[in-house]
Chains A and B, each alone.
Chain A
Amino acid sequence: MIRENEHLSEAEIQTYAFDTDDRVKAHLEVCEACSLKVANYRLIFDGVKNEEPAAFDFVVRDFVLATLPARNAPEKPDHLWSVLVVLGGLVMLTAGYVLFKLAASAVSAIGLWLMVIAACFILLYQLGEPVMEHRKKMRLLQKI
């Protein structure tokens, strides 16, 4: 119940000023001091409402987009790597074939096969390393 002879509390003044609580209307009709408080609140917060909105002195969209593509642009396939891998493979196959032919006349069959298996392991390791490195980098990028 709103008291007629007492001034309104600050909370009641605010509630009336911003949430239009009519319970205090009767008091405000006869109380100049409380009406003035309501008027001041409304004037101040009309000022806040009409304030010029804050703004950056650059175009936000352009600034933000310029910072994102490095992380998020779809990756282009690395053609240079593919060419190098294919060329490297061809060189190794040719070298292997030549060595195989030379070794066939000089070493025993078991020795020859051991050499072939060792060469295959080295080849697989060499081809696998860039792939593993690439995966590692991708995982690191996703974590950032």
Chain B
Amino acid sequence: MLKDTDDHFTDRALIKAASNGDMRAFGSIIEKTEGLVTQIIFKMVLNSADRKDMLQEVYLKIFKNLPTFKFQAKLSTWAASITYHTCFDYLKRKRLVLLEDYAAHELVVSGETERGLMNSELSLILSMAMERLSPVYQTLITLYHHEELSYEEITEVTGLPAGTVKNYLFRARAALKQSVLKNYKREEL
């Protein structure tokens, strides 16, 4: 029997209830996971109509697979993993670029001294620079720096080896910094 406040439910109880067709319990699962799910969808899918379809597809998969969830990961991490792989398949279907080799740009070390950034100018440039990154790089940066997931959790979400996650994150950060600095200088001119 469900109590009035869903907050009192553990993930285990929620999953059990939702697996038995309790839509209120599934609603609570959606509320618990939608933050991370939404972040991943927005970073990996550009088209707003496709984002809506992705959201629907992701939660349908979560609903169907709930009875098989064995708590090998946190509920939110598991939901994030389903989201990442669903979006990844979408990108593959659409033949969109998953990763770009930004390392080539990054490894060209110019002789000029790096300039200090001003906080007030940054936020405008940052979102534009983020959008220029590939979907996977954007997602990794968001998972690590915005959602504050650990390397291990990102490994669980993406299914990538830990070394690859660190390598991609390194490249993504370097590419983002370079893009921000480039735009920062352009703005100044």
Contacts and interface: CB of A to CB of B under 8 A. Distances in A.
B31 interface: yes
Interface residues of B, number: 44
Given A43-B117, A53-B35, A48 B145 contact: yes
Interface in A39-70: 39-41, 43-45, 47-49, 51, 53-56, 60-61, 63-65, 67-69
DSSP class of A's interface residues: helix, strand, loop or mixed?
Answer: helix
A39 to B, nearest CB: 7
Contacts of B65: none
A68 B62 CA distance: 11
Interface of A: 10-11, 14, 18, 33, 36-37, 39-41, 43-45, 47-49, 51, 53-56, 60-61, 63-65, 67-69, 72-74
A2 B123 CA distance: 34
Given A61-B30, A61-B34, A14 B174 contact: yes
A33 B114 contact: yes
Given A65-B27, A72-B21, A49 B146 contact: yes
Given A54-B42, A56-B38, A61-B31, A40 B126 contact: no
A73 B21 contact: yes
B163 interface: no
Contacts of A44: 117, 122, 126, 176-177, 180
A56 B63 CA distance: 20
Contact of B127 (A51, A53, A61, A67): A51
Interface stretch (B48-56, B84-92, B93-101, B154-162): B48-56
Contacts of B146: 48-49, 51, 53
A74 B114 CA distance: 63
Nearest to A7: B109
